[in-house]
């Protein structure tokens, strides 16, 4: 037995984070035991655990997902902790030790904010020299530099992160980082150089594309605390004793790139002066560091028809190119970044006003070069002015994103689906640089809340997003504070104003809820509850001001953004009535607030929001449904939302499902949904007996579909269903990004429905799951793994040539699953080579399914499905014709042990049995196929 993944506030060994309410988590693995019976957590001030500050004792109460450490933390202390687990089979294991280290907590700052006495467009280096005579025990630097900074000590970059201090609502709070510089400092002379860049703080940024959104001056706050072996300390403060000089960076900007002149070597020293930014806004970091997570080599160096030299990274990625050069002094090397070639040539008009360049002027020395204060979203890089032959050895694509652990993987028998999964994953890598952004390349790259909301489910399967979203949600709450609960469409606001919209602003309720269910740590709800409630209260106020109809139909809404059923096909607006969408989210968010209140034991609030939610649902039913259950709107998204959000009137779900089927039939089984409908589309279909249609939509290859982009060579998710036209031409330059993750939300369906790994709200954090794999014969197999907070889950299925089903599952230690095997006869099912009925697993049947309760362990299930996954059938006669004739219908009923489900009768139109049999779960029992074959001949005669 082993204990791994020790995390504090969901971060491994966090240094200098805001840890005010530490929550400890760990995973037990490599054991045959099923359950934790007790655990003990010990926290000490030393690695040897001599100086113990907390000992839980052996306790049955310790939750491995979130143990709230009940001690007050002291500033600037490294705490070590370890855990021992006792398992039900007598196994005992103790973990290696982990640590977390506090920042300054409430200690005041002795350092001052300083700014150089230089024109504010000149990128400065702020520097300080000092001597160390004694032997160092431990040293830390606490730093915030604005807009962005890199700190070097004795010529060495501190820390592994880039683009610090990250991006947040700078007008409300500023994050400082902590660096362990014990081994960077030296005895004798030491030099600190802090290089400053513009970033989002003062560079050209935001929808206004203007400068100085948060401030117009470079600034630095730096406090270095050195503890010596002899027990004394030295503090080096940023103050007016520091100096500054002009750096080699001539310009920098998130959108436009960077110009770096290595020939520039002016050493003139300029004074610095104090600048009054105060220290009230400073807070220990919440942002995960942005790190260089991967390095890619160009797959090809292209000479284009226009004669350009272009690197092809083979993958639309985010970060920058690092290159080696020994160009002669004064040579100017320019890199330009783009996402796609057009007619074989370099292209970047879809980046709009963003220049996305890097210029390097060589000083004649051999150098490895990279930018500092920008990043690019690109697959292709045009290289000009490079001295010598451009070859891939000298160029590397450095992939940057927030330091999150990869947790999920999906593979199927269909390579296009596999690529779709990767495209969404790369979309996440490229757009999770501290803030979840809409896109990483053009002149936006903003924290559009709707995009983050719809993708959060997928994101949290792919990677451990707790800390990442925790920080984003903190920003959301801060932006709301000054807006009476309104959640802006873009967070951090970055000068974009107070626009809000359903689906976007509901980020305030949906992400905390998703994160809670995914990771099982209530802290996110505790932290966000006021913000969640404030958003619903904001809508309610608007509703109350316009007659308390319990609908939200009074404001401008973004609606089903980019859906294909809008009145004007060129407009961004989808066709679904925005008041319906807004009212549905009003309901959905109110319900989430009620559920969160319940969990936080706020009984009164639970009742209040539950009542509000019921009133809204009633109002929606009255306004949008006829008394017979017909939905008054005819859009795919409207049906999908009605089903997904459970809006259909009592007893009318069937009607909505049938009408939805009709809708899709009229749309030739192709999607038309936008940002609102798409994330729920396949989920609502699979949940409502339309799993076949979910697979049809997944597997469609022609426009509009997910795989259309894949067949066009996409390596990330596009903003539009047709961002690139079949002839390879970009469909337009107005809002057309090739790395926009919203439609990547299909991947959540792959984990939850295709593979069936579903968290259960009442046992969050995957302590218990509903395991509902939903195979479809159009894939031979699918497998998913998910390294949850409890441990590793695996789920895979395979359909053999004969149509038989096999499954493999792994349920981690201290977890359990309710498995629902589709299309199974209890008597037939085998598990780990034995008949299920002969094992001691608790099983039962329900309709076409077999239900089995699983505890931790690995399982292989096998059975001949109750309903064959048949590929073709022998008659051409249409089913409708068949059932028209009472006699033949009767005989068919006799022949087929399971009749077609009611909803399919009369719905199959002119499809022949041959076509019908291509539908999954076509209910023809495999054991009677032969018999049916024989008897159908007779039936056919009857029809004729
Ligand atoms: C962004 C979207 C965003 C939308 C909403 C666009 O410019 O790129 O992803 O959600 O605006 O208005």
637 CA from centroid of ligand 1 (Å)? 18
448 CA from centroid of ligand 1 (Å)? 6
537 CA from centroid of ligand 1 (Å)? 25
pLDDT at residue 885, rounded to an integer: 62
Do 780 and 912 have their domain in common? Answer: no
Reported as a pLDDT band with limits 50, 70 and 90, residue 61 is very high
Of ligand 1's listed atoms, the one at least distance from the Cα of 735 is 7
Percentage of the residues of the chain whose pLDDT score is greater than 70: 91
* 495 contact partners, CB below 8 Å, separation of at least 6: 205, 206, 207, 208, 210, 213
* CATH code (residue 843): 2.60.420.10
Q: How confident is the prediction for the chain on average, in pLDDT?
A: 92
Buried b / exposed e over 630-661, threshold 16 CB at 10 Å, is: ebebebbbbbbbbbbbebbbeebbebbbbbbb
Of ligand 1's listed atoms, the one at least distance from the Cα of 451 is 10
Residue with CA nearest ligand 1 atom 4:
448
Q: Is the pLDDT assigned to residue 812 strictly greater than 90? A: yes
868 occurs within a structural domain: no
206 occurs within a structural domain: yes
Do 644 and 699 have their domain in common? Answer: yes
Do 83 and 124 have their domain in common? Answer: no
d(C-alpha 3, C-alpha 12), whole Å: 14
d(C-alpha 121, C-alpha 128), whole Å: 22
d(C-alpha 926, C-alpha 542), whole Å: 58
> Which one of the listed residues 444, 479, 577, 794 is annotated catalytic?
444
Which of 284, 308, 337 is the C-terminal boundary of a domain? Answer: 284
Of ligand 1's listed atoms, the one at least distance from the Cα of 504 is 10
Reported as a pLDDT band with limits 50, 70 and 90, residue 846 is confident
397 occurs within a structural domain: yes
Residue position matching structure tokens 């290859």: 701
Across 782-804, average pLDDT: 92
* CATH code (residue 299): 2.60.120.260
Reported as a pLDDT band with limits 50, 70 and 90, residue 938 is very low
Q: Is the pLDDT assigned to residue 929 strictly greater than 70? A: no
Percentage of the residues of the chain whose pLDDT score is greater than 90: 86
Q: What is the DSSP string of 103-153?
A: --TTPPP-S--EEESS-TTSPEEEEEEEEE-SPEEEEEEEEEEESEEEEEE
The DSSP secondary-structure symbol of 165 reads: T
521 occurs within a structural domain: yes
pLDDT at residue 882, rounded to an integer: 56
Find how far residue 767's CA is from the centre of its chain. Answer: 21
Reported as a pLDDT band with limits 50, 70 and 90, residue 888 is low
Are 36 and 83 a contacting pair, CB within 8 Å? no
Q: What is the pLDDT of residues 35-58, one digit of tens each?
A: 999 999 999 999 999 999 999 999
438 CA from centroid of ligand 1 (Å)? 7
How far, CA to CA in Å, does 555 sit from each of 440, 539, 543, 544?
Answer: 30, 10, 10, 13
The best mutation among 506, 735, 741 to test binding of ligand 1, ranked by most ligand atoms within 8 Å of the C-beta, falls on: 735
512 CA from centroid of ligand 1 (Å)? 22
**Residue 129 a catalytic site member:** no
pLDDT at residue 21, rounded to an integer: 81
Do 917 and 785 have their domain in common? Answer: no
Across 720-747, average pLDDT: 94
235 occurs within a structural domain: yes
Residue with CA nearest ligand 1 atom 9:
438
Reported as a pLDDT band with limits 50, 70 and 90, residue 933 is low
Buried b / exposed e over 820-843, threshold 16 CB at 10 Å, is: bbbbbbbebbbbeeeebeeeebeb
Do 349 and 470 have their domain in common? Answer: no
* CATH code (residue 714): 1.50.10.10
Do 148 and 213 have their domain in common? Answer: yes
Residue 374 structural domain: 293-402
* CATH code (residue 54): 2.60.40.10
Token representation of residue 277: 């930014």
Of ligand 1's listed atoms, the one at least distance from the Cα of 438 is 9
pLDDT at residue 902, rounded to an integer: 40
Query: Which H or E run includes 8?
Result: strand 2-8
* Least trusted range by pLDDT, from 384-398, 449-463, 886-900: 886-900
Do 783 and 699 have their domain in common? Answer: no
Q: Select from 499, 496, 523, 528 the least CA-distant residue to 511.
A: 528
Do 541 and 639 have their domain in common? Answer: yes
Domain count, the chain: 6
Strands (E), 185-248: 188-197, 219-228, 233-237, 243-246
Residue with CA nearest ligand 1 atom 8:
438
Q: Select from 723, 727, 745 the least CA-distant residue to 316.
A: 723
Residue with CA nearest ligand 1 atom 12:
558
943 occurs within a structural domain: no
Residue with CA nearest ligand 1 atom 11:
448
Q: What is the pLDDT of residues 312-366, one digit of tens each?
A: 999 999 999 999 999 999 999 999 999 999 999 999 999 999 999 999 999 999 9
Reported as a pLDDT band with limits 50, 70 and 90, residue 20 is confident
Which of 402, 418, 453 is the C-terminal boundary of a domain? Answer: 402
177 occurs within a structural domain: yes
The best mutation among 351, 352, 447, 451 to test binding of ligand 1, ranked by most ligand atoms within 8 Å of the C-beta, falls on: 451
Q: What is the pLDDT of residues 677-699, one digit of tens each?
A: 999 999 999 999 899 899 999 99
556 CA from centroid of ligand 1 (Å)? 15
CA 13-17-20 angle, 5° bins:
105
Which of 284, 301, 323 is the C-terminal boundary of a domain? Answer: 284
Reported as a pLDDT band with limits 50, 70 and 90, residue 795 is very high
Across 148-160, average pLDDT: 97
Residue with CA nearest ligand 1 atom 2:
438
Do 204 and 174 have their domain in common? Answer: yes
Token representation of residue 219: 């600034």
Q: What is the pLDDT of residues 656-677, one digit of tens each?
A: 999 999 999 899 999 999 999 9
Q: Is the pLDDT assigned to residue 546 strictly greater than 60? A: yes
Find the residues whose C-beta lies inside 6 A of ligand 1: 438-439, 444, 448, 450-451, 558, 561, 735
Reported as a pLDDT band with limits 50, 70 and 90, residue 903 is very low
Q: What is the pLDDT of residues 224-261, one digit of tens each?
A: 999 999 999 999 999 999 999 999 999 999 999 999 99
CB-CB neighbours of 555 under 10 Å: 15
575 CA from centroid of ligand 1 (Å)? 17
Of ligand 1's listed atoms, the one at least distance from the Cα of 675 is 10
Q: What is the pLDDT of residues 122-134, one digit of tens each?
A: 999 999 999 999 9
Strands (E), 403-440: 408-412, 432-433, 435-436
pLDDT at residue 866, rounded to an integer: 67
d(C-alpha 831, C-alpha 824), whole Å: 13
Of ligand 1's listed atoms, the one at least distance from the Cα of 719 is 9
The best mutation among 442, 448, 716 to test binding of ligand 1, ranked by most ligand atoms within 8 Å of the C-beta, falls on: 448
The best mutation among 503, 561, 720, 736 to test binding of ligand 1, ranked by most ligand atoms within 8 Å of the C-beta, falls on: 561
> Which one of the listed residues 150, 161, 258, 719 is annotated catalytic?
719
444 CA from centroid of ligand 1 (Å)? 9
Surface-to-core class of residue 771, CB atoms within 10 Å of its CB (0-12 exposed, 13-18 middle, 19+ buried): buried
Do 212 and 299 have their domain in common? Answer: no
Q: Select from 286, 444, 284 the least CA-distant residue to 350.
A: 444
Token representation of residue 315: 């993958």
Do 317 and 206 have their domain in common? Answer: no
501 CA from centroid of ligand 1 (Å)? 12
Reported as a pLDDT band with limits 50, 70 and 90, residue 943 is very low
108 occurs within a structural domain: no
Q: Is the pLDDT assigned to residue 928 strictly greater than 50? A: no
Across 159-165, average pLDDT: 98
pLDDT at residue 924, rounded to an integer: 43
Of ligand 1's listed atoms, the one at least distance from the Cα of 742 is 9
pLDDT at residue 847, rounded to an integer: 76
d(C-alpha 179, C-alpha 292), whole Å: 17
**Residue 719 a catalytic site member:** yes
Q: Is the pLDDT assigned to residue 458 strictly greater than 80? A: yes
Do 693 and 802 have their domain in common? Answer: no
Q: Sign of the CA dihedral 26, 27, 31, 32? A: positive
Are 715 and 688 a contacting pair, CB within 8 Å? no
């Amino acid at each position: 037995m082993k204990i791994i993944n020790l995390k504090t506030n969901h971060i491994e060994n966090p240094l200098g984070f805001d840890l005010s309410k530490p929550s400890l988590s760990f995973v037990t693995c490599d054991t045959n035991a099923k359950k934790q019976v007790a655990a003990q957590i010990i926290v000490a001030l030393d690695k040897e655990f001599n100086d113990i500050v907390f000992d839980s004792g052996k306790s049955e109460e310790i939750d491995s997902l979130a143990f709230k450490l009940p001690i007050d933390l002291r500033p600037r202390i490294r705490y070590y902790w370890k855990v021992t687990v006792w398992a039900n089979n007598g196994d005992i294991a103790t973990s290696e030790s982990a640590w977390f280290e506090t920042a300054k907590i409430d200690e005041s700052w002795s350092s001052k904010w300083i700014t150089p006495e230089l024109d504010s467009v000149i990128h400065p280096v702020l520097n300080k020299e000092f001597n160390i005579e004694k032997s160092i025990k431990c040293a830390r630097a606490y730093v915030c530099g604005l807009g962005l900074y890199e700190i070097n000590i004795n010529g060495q970059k501190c820390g592994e992160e880039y683009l610090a201090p990250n991006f947040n609502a700078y007008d409300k709070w500023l994050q400082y980082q902590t660096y362990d510089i014990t081994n960077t400092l030296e005895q004798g002379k030491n030099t600190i150089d802090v290089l400053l860049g513009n970033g989002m703080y003062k560079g050209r940024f935001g929808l206004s594309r203007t400068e100085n959104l948060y401030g117009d001056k470079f600034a630095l706050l730096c406090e270095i605390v050195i503890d010596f072996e002899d027990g004394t300390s030295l503090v080096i403060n940023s103050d007016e004793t520091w100096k500054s000089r002009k750096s080699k960076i001539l310009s920098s900007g998130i959108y436009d790139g960077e110009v770096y002149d290595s020939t520039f070597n002016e050493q003139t020293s300029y004074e610095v002066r104090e600048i009054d930014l105060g220290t009230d806004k400073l807070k220990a970091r919440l942002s995960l560091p942005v790190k260089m997570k991967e390095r890619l080599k160009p797959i090809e160096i292209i000479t284009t028809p226009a004669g350009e030299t272009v690197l092809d990274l083979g993958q639309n990625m985010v970060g920058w190119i690092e290159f080696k050069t020994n160009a002669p002094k004064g040579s100017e090397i320019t890199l330009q970044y783009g996402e796609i070639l057009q007619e074989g040539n370099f292209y970047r008009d879809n980046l709009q006003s963003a220049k996305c360049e890097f210029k390097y002027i060589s000083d004649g020395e051999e150098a490895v070069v990279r930018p500092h204060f920008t990043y690019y979203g690109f697959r292709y890089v045009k290289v000009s002015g490079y001295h010598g032959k451009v070859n891939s050895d000298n160029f590397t694509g450095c992939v940057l994103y927030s330091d999150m652990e990869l947790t999920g993987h999906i593979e199927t028998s269909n390579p296009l689906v596999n690529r779709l999964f990767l495209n969404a994953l790369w979309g996440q890598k490229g757009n999770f640089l501290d803030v979840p952004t809409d896109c990483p390349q053009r002149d936006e790259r903003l924290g559009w809340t709707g995009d983050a909301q719809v993708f959060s489910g997928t994101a949290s399967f792919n990677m451990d997003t707790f800390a990442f979203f925790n920080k984003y949600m903190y920003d959301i709450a801060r932006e709301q504070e000054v807006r009476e609960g309104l959640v802006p469409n873009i967070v951090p606001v970055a000068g974009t104003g107070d626009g809000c919209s359903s689906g976007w602003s509901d980020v305030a309720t949906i992400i905390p809820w998703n994160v809670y269910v995914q990771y099982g740590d209530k802290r996110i709800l505790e932290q966000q509850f006021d913000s969640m409630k404030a958003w619903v209260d904001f809508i309610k106020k608007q509703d109350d001001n316009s007659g308390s109809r319990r609908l939200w139909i009074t404001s401008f809404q973004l609606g089903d953004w980019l859906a294909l059923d809008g009145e004007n096909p060129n407009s961004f607006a989808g066709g679904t009535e925005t008041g319906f969408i807004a009212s549905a989210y009003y309901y959905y968010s109110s319900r989430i607030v009620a559920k969160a209140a319940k969990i936080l034991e706020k009984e009164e609030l639970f009742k209040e929001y539950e009542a509000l939610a019921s009133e809204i649902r009633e109002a929606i039913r009255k306004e949008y449904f006829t008394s017979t259950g017909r939905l008054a709107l005819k859009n795919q998204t409207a049906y999908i939302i009605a089903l997904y959000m459970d809006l259909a009137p009592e007893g009318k779900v069937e009607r909505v499902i049938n009408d939805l089927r009709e809708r899709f039939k009229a749309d030739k089984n192709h999607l038309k949904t936008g940002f609102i409908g798409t994330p729920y589309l396949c989920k609502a279909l699979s949940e409502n007996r339309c799993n076949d249609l979910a697979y049809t939509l997944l597997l469609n290859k022609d426009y509009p579909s997910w795989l259309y982009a894949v067949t066009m060579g996409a390596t990330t998710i596009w903003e539009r269903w047709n961002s690139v036209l079949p002839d390879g031409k970009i469909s337009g330059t107005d809002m057309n990004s090739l790395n926009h993750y919203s439609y990547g939300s299909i991947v959540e369906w792959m984990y939850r429905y295709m593979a069936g790994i579903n968290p259960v709200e009442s046992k969050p954090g995957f302590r218990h799951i509903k395991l509902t794999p939903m195979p479809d014969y159009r894939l031979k197999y699918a497998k998913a793994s998910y390294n949850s907070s409890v441990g590793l889950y695996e789920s895979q299925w395979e359909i053999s040539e004969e149509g038989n089903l096999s499954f493999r599952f792994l349920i981690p230690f201290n977890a359990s699953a309710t498995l629902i095997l589709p299309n199974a006869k209890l008597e037939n099912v085998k598990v780990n080579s034995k008949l299920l009925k002969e094992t001691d697993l608790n099983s039962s049947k329900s309709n076409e399914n077999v239900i089995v309760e699983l505890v931790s362990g690995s399982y292989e299930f096998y059975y001949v499905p109750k309903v064959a996954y048949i590929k073709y059938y022998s008659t051409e006669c249409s089913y409708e014709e068949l059932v028209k004739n009472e006699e033949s219908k009767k005989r068919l009923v006799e022949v087929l042990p399971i009749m077609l489900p009611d909803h399919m009768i009369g719905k199959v139109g002119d499809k022949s049995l041959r076509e019908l049999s291509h539908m999954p779960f076509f209910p023809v029992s495999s054991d009677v196929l032969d018999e049916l074959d024989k008897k159908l001949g007779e039936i056919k005669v009857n029809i004729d």
